[in-house]
Structure 1
Amino acid sequence: MAVAVAAGGGHPVNTFMWVRAVLLPVVAVLVHRLTVSASRGSRRAFERLGALAVVMPVAIIGVDAVPGVCPPWYAVAQTVCVLPVVRVAFLTRGSALRAAFPKRP
């Protein structure tokens, strides 16, 4: 949404920003489906959710940190938006959730 508003306001928006604006909502649907499956007891979905919660913030912030890829305001917005995912990464590694999804013998 921010990309469309920026483009509509005459601010420079590059292809990378448009691609990410399309891909992140698609990934959000995937993460939601994994969350629903995990909430229904799927250990596999729980493990995938935990892995994504670690990889996504590193990838998003890492790519945004490359000079010239995106404007600073966009990098800051992406970093703020990925903070809840960082929280999920910590939660999925916490003792309460690990106890709810014990490893199989």
Structure 2
Amino acid sequence: MHTAEFIVSSARLGELYECSALLRRTRLRAEEIVDEARALLDEAERHGDAERVLTLTDELEEARQAYAKVLNAYVIICRRIDAERQEILQAQIEHDRLSGVA
């Protein structure tokens, strides 16, 4: 791998790590929101508030869907990081092989 390619790949990998950190925090917050929505729904059910149960059931489902989207994005970015790291390692191995480095 040429120096310029390595710099670009390293920068791209750094950006992917930053995205994964942001998505990890977002995922944790989305998980908290789902837990909070579930707790509110449980409370409404205990109090027999049928109207509130309907509203909170919808909100819990929306929270779950949003969480699933964030989780999916997090998994995708983690896979991309792994692929990018693998490409860098493979290129380095190829470079070392062609250079005669053992």
TM-score range (shorter-chain normalised) is 0.3 to 0.5
Higher relative contact order structure (alpha carbons within 8 Å, sequence separation ≥ 6): 2
Q: With the length of structure 1 as denominator, give the TM-score of the two structures.
A: 0.43
* Higher helix proportion: 2
Larger of the two Rg values belongs to structure = 2
